[in-house]
Amino acid sequence: MRGSDVVAAATEMTRALTPHHEADWSVAAGTLEWSCRTTAAHIAHDLLAYTAQVTSRAEDAYLPFDLAVREKATPRDVLRIADTCAAMLARAVDTAGPNARAWHWGACDPGGFAAMGVAEILLHTHDITRGLNVAWTPPPALATGVLHRLFPDAPAGEPAAVLLWCAGRGELEGRARRTAWKWRAALD
């Protein structure tokens, strides 16, 4: 995956969630214990962390910092922060070069960080839309890219449904719901 995929996912997140910025974002985001607002801030945090990893080419751990979103930030502000972090990750991925590596439980290439960024955006947008009672499904093309990169053993099926199942957020006929899962971004 590439930076353009991260931007496309962020654009979809913004399109799906901005019309609901005045809703109660203190409610739980789907089945998560986090609120919708906290989940949106988490998206931004992870995108910024991935950006730092790609940019620094950290070799053995995540850089020890966190993103702090101010308490007075509105849901619209938090979405803007997440969108900004997505743009930064997209630029970092696209300028890093295909042979660059950074740590994510092993050596991970820029495409792996892009895929993780897209996954964070899609999965947590799904969580937030469930909390806000908004009908939304991850776009098939983006879901397919995430499945190919992060879940290479995913079963066949409609990409959004398979992605949600792989990440413990949905049902697939004939398969038990996942209660634990892990994606594979590292190349080794």
CATH number, domain with residue 132? 1.20.120.450
Under the banding of pLDDT at 50, 70 and 90, the label for residue 181 is confident
Domain-embedded: residue 62: yes
Containing domain of residue 130, as a range?
A: 3-140
Pick from 16-30, 91-105, 152-166, 171-185: least confident: 171-185
Domain-embedded: residue 10: yes
pLDDT in tens, 64-120: 999 999 999 999 999 999 999 999 999 999 999 889 999 998 899 999 999 999 999
What pLDDT was estimated at residue 69? 96
pLDDT in tens, 122-132: 999 999 999 99
What pLDDT was estimated at residue 188? 67
Domain-embedded: residue 117: yes
Residue (of 139, 96, 156) closest to 10 by Cα position: 139
First to last CA, the chain: 18
Pick from 15-19, 161-165, 180-184: least confident: 180-184
DSSP codes, 134-187: ------HHHHHHHHHHH-TTPPSS-HHHHHHHHTTSS-BTTBPPPS--------
Q: How many domains does the chain have?
A: 1
Please tell me whether the overall predicted TM-score, pTM, comes out greater than 0.85 for this model: yes
pLDDT at 178 exceeding the cut of 90: no
Domain-embedded: residue 104: yes
Domain-embedded: residue 162: no
pLDDT at 44 exceeding the cut of 70: yes
Residue (of 160, 118, 164) closest to 140 by Cα position: 160
Domain-embedded: residue 158: no
In contact, 37 and 14? CB cutoff 8 Å: no
pLDDT at 169 exceeding the cut of 70: yes
Domain-embedded: residue 148: no
What pLDDT was estimated at residue 184? 87
Domain-embedded: residue 9: yes
